[in-house]
Structure 1
Amino acid sequence: MTATSTALRHHLADTLAAKGHLTDPALRTAVEDVPRELFLGDAVFRPGGSHWQPVSRADVGDDAWLHMVYDDTTWVTQVDGLSASRATGVLPGNPTSSSTLPSGVVLMLELADLHDGSKVLEIGTGTGYSTAILSHRLGDSCVYSVEYDKDVATAAAQHLAAAGRSPHLVVGDGLEGHHEGGEYGTVIATCAVRSIPPPWLWQLQNGGSVVTTLSGWMTGSGLIRLTLDDDGVAHGRFTGDRIAYMLARPHERPPRPKLYRRPGTARTTQLSPTLLDDWTGLLVAQLAAPSAELLTLSGGIALIDTATGSQAWTEPDGDAWTVHQDGPLRLWDQVEAALDAWQQAGAPDQTAFGMTVTDGEQVVWLGDPGGPQWRLPL
């Protein structure tokens, strides 16, 4: 039997509720009412190894397409600036826009603790689906959404109009926020950042919150909700949820130096580089070397610092590991010290970490603000 959009939306809401989401009845109604298919156009990219395969509605048929749309899946809609509808075949590249899986959208919105009448600034309109959910929940007049990519913004505006929504849409750098909207109760970022852009806090009312993922050039990621106090200081703890977003384009890494496995100085590691396979371990390593990129090698890893060209690479040595380090920074020393602090604390998950943001610095700490801490790049 052919499924209808309405039936699939209600099934999606049931699925999300069974996962512990949609505790807000008004948010559940939004998921049940907003047709996600209006926001995906007629084509998306499907991953295939290191490449992307465009898949169109015409290829799979209407019924299969609707089932794809209502999978709890992130669908990539643009790769290196090329939309799926314009792609003529398989291509390599990096995703530059997507429709986040619905459970991820709902997770962010529930974490924001939305209240009727509160103004929300969304960073990253994307396809417009999460914007439509917000508009349904709060009303169009309470939602401001900023999109960096003009083509993506144009398509999102068309999608939202087709869905009968008319929030405030802005084309610009979301890291600058949107001052004209006044004081917001919440800033929600559907892109990741390396540190919290100060304008987000300047445009937030006291007691307001920022919900975002903190990420970086090693692709470590952590979801956090920060609350702004009366002294202008924002603080909060990571949730521990395994969710990741693409970095905001101005926060993407610059071209990195090529890895030439220079021998440098060598020593036996005190900790295994396999700790970076852990969701929290990777974030800890990234905090310790925020301008480094992580590469996976045959039999080990490599760290390359984009600012200085410093490098560290590991190789197995029997039951141990040898690390080679070269350049002005000893990258593995930095990472190993941070991992050791985490291990000494019992290797807790991300809920043990928090963050404090002032005008002068941004610090991630372990345990409490007096514990081990790492400053973020500003």
Structure 2
Amino acid sequence: MPPDDLNSTAAKLRQQLAEQLAADGSVRSPLWRVAVEAVPRHEFLPRYFVETLGSGPTTWSPISPELVGVDEWLTIAYSDQTLVTQFDGDPADWRAPAPISNANPTSSSTLPSLVVRMLEDLDVRDDMSVLELGTGTGYSTALLCHRIGDQNVTSVETDRDVSHQARTALASCGYYPRVLTGDGQAGYPGAAPYDRTIATYGVRSVPSSWVEQTRPGGLIVTTLRGWMRSLGLVRLTVGGDGSAQGPFLSGDPHFMIARQQEAPAGLGMIPGPEDGETRETGYGSDVLTGESGFVAQLAMPNARFFAMTTDDGSTATYALDASTNAFAVLARDGAGWSVRQGGTTRLWDDVERSLSLWREAGSPPPSGFGVTVSADAQHVWLGDPDGPRWTLPQ
């Protein structure tokens, strides 16, 4: 396809994407719509992978102009979906591209609706300074540059190769923000304080550096998550005393967790069939997923769960805390459930107490919760800061 035709086609696809994002409420202001219409997402996605639906292990198929043609490559690049660009921290081998299975995505271009929604929630204004953690492909960085000027944007990416590729793509589009390679959890004090701070990956708790480097009255938008699931998007207002506080926002974004906060490789010690104490429980393994899973994650911040067939052929669900070796094993008991617990804490007791508090409050969605960050602790609270609360791991 000649360059003029490619650019014309891409411009039409950007227009369609902007219309779609405006229709679904992701784009809420004219200036962000203009940014979506202007920034060429395909420049940040010369090659990428899309998830292939089907049974068996999750598989991603390679997409490039050479493999599928320019039209399909462009059409997918301007679709509202997350497009993976890296697995397991290693550059993909595009000399012999092939579908990838049994791999862990470690860099991507997040679906535009979530990117723009977070930028809207960031509430930036002209000439504000923004610290972005997680440059990724650079697409969200480019949207910020278009909106407030590249001189006001600082972005930190942990992966050297990813950072280099993003910097190159940004320059090709005429954007020259400060793009640094380093641990995003440390922020970047060299250009602090910032009016706004935004992270495009999940964290188990809010790094103190982000609060320290955001000016009082400034906003932090990030996703909190655990090792079992995402908790959700939060928007915190920084106080003059070094604290920050704010609500969970609606929706359930699924970002990759910070590489420095990934779960241990081992799940922990799997208990033997006679370990622990068994009792009946009013809750089954289904409470570990769905909206109740949000509460279960708060109750067991260092745990993970999985199902396994036992010696008698039945299925049991194991919740294991690798930091303490505490465990809870859920199994069917006639028409109900039983739980077998052991270790230094009683994981399922904590889950039951938390679910009872949540249900007494009317089982609100995550937007019914909020977060308080202080120098010595971080808490998620239900209803208001004086309500029931859970401590985040630090």
- The interval holding the TM-score normalised by the smaller chain is over 0.9
Q: Corresponding residue for 1:67?
A: 75
DSSP 3-state at the match of 1:4: helix
User: Superposition RMSD on alpha carbons, in Å?
Assistant: 1.8
Query: Which of 322, 343, 349 is equivalent to 1:333?
Result: 349
| 2:168 matched residue in structure 1 | 158
Task: Report if aligned partners of 1:123, 1:145 keep a CA contact under 8 Å in 2.
Answer: yes
Task: Write out aligned runs for 1:19-38 (5 A).
Answer: 19-38=24-43
- The aligned runs of 1:353-364 (5 Å cut-off) are 353-364=369-380
- What is the Cα deviation at residue 310 of structure 1? 1.8
Give TM-score, length-normalised by structure 1: 0.95
Residue correspondence of structure 1 range 112-127 to structure 2 within 5 A = 112-127=122-137
How many positions carry a matched residue from both structures? 377
Written as runs of structure 1 = structure 2, the 5 A alignment for 1:38-77 is 38-47=43-52, 49-57=56-64, 58-77=66-85
CA contact (8 A) 1:45 1:78 kept: no
Amino acid of the residue matched to residue 50 of structure 1? P
Residue of structure 2 aligned with 1:343, choices 350, 359, 367: 359
Q: For 1:250-265, list aligned pairs within 5 A.
A: 250-256=260-266, 257=268, 259-260=270-271, 262-263=273-274, 264-265=276-277
Alignment check: 8 A CA contact 1:44 1:84 kept: no
CA contact (8 A) 2:62 2:99 kept: no
Structure 1 regions of 5+ residues with no counterpart?
none
* Matched-pair contact (CA < 8 Å) for 1:179–1:203: yes
1:18 corresponding residue in structure 2: 23
My pick for the range that moved more, 200-209 or 325-334, is: 325-334
Does structure 2 retain, via aligned residues, the 8 Å contact 1:125–1:147?
yes
**Aligned residues of 2:303 and 2:319 also touching (Cα < 8 A):** yes
Question: Any idea what SS the aligned residue of 2:164 has?
Answer: helix
CA distance in structure 2 between the partners assigned to 1:135 and 1:348 by the alignment: 37
Q: Distance in 2 between matches of 1:309 and 1:41?
A: 45
Verify the 8 A CA contact 2:372 2:378 in the aligned structure 1: yes
Runs of 4+ in 1 over 6 A off after TM superposition: none
Question: Which amino acid in structure 2 is aligned with residue 62 of structure 1?
Answer: V
1:317 equivalent among 333, 342, 352:
333
CA shift, 1:163, in A, is: 1.4
Aligned-partner Cα distance in 1 for 2:89–2:241: 41
Which residue pairs with 1:370 in the alignment? Answer: 386
Matched, 1:275 2:268: no
Q: Is 2:319–2:329's contact at 8 Å kept on the other side of the alignment?
A: yes
- Superposed, 1:128-139 pairs within 5 Å as 128-139=138-149
CA distance in 1, matches of 2:272, 2:296: 20
Does the 8 A contact of 1:288 with 1:335 survive in 2?
A: yes
Q: Secondary structure at the match of 2:217?
A: strand
Q: Which moved more, 1:206-215 or 1:230-239?
A: 230-239
In the aligned structure 2, how far is the partner of 1:195 from the partner of 1:63? 42
Runs (5+) with no aligned partner, structure 2: 310-314
Measure the CA separation in 2 of the matches of 1:150 and 1:327: 41
**Residues 215-246 of structure 1: CA distance to partner in whole angstroms, max 9, x if unpaired?**
01112321110001223221101012121211
CA drift at 1:316: 1.6
Partners in 1 of 2:205 and 2:52 — Cα distance? 29
Identity %: 44
Pair 1:285-2:296 in alignment: yes
Q: State which of 305, 312, 321 in structure 2 corresponds to 1:294.
A: 305
Measure how far apart 1:337 and its partner are.
1.2
Shift, 1:258, TM fit: 5.0
| Cα separation, 1, equivalents of 2:213 and 2:57 | 40
1:67 is paired with a residue whose SS is helix
Equivalence for 2:312: none
Residue pairs, 1:199-210, within 5 angstroms: 199-210=209-220
Q: Quickly say closer, same or farther: Cα 1:348–1:372, change in 2 above 3 A.
A: same
Q: Give the Cα–Cα distance (whole angstroms) in 2 for the partners of residues 330 and 240 of structure 1.
A: 31
How far did residue 375 of structure 1 move? 0.8
State the distance in 1 between where 2:358 and 2:373 align.
Answer: 21
Structure 1 residue 260, shift from structure 2 partner? 4.7
Query: Does structure 1 residue 4 correspond to structure 2 residue 9?
Result: yes
Deviation larger for 266-275 or 84-93: 84-93
**2:227 counterpart SS class:** coil
Q: TM-score, normalised by structure 2?
A: 0.91
The amino acid across from 2:42 in the alignment is E
How far 1:88 sits from its partner (Å)? 4.2
Say if 1:171 and 1:216 are closer, same or farther in 2 by CA, change over 3 A: same
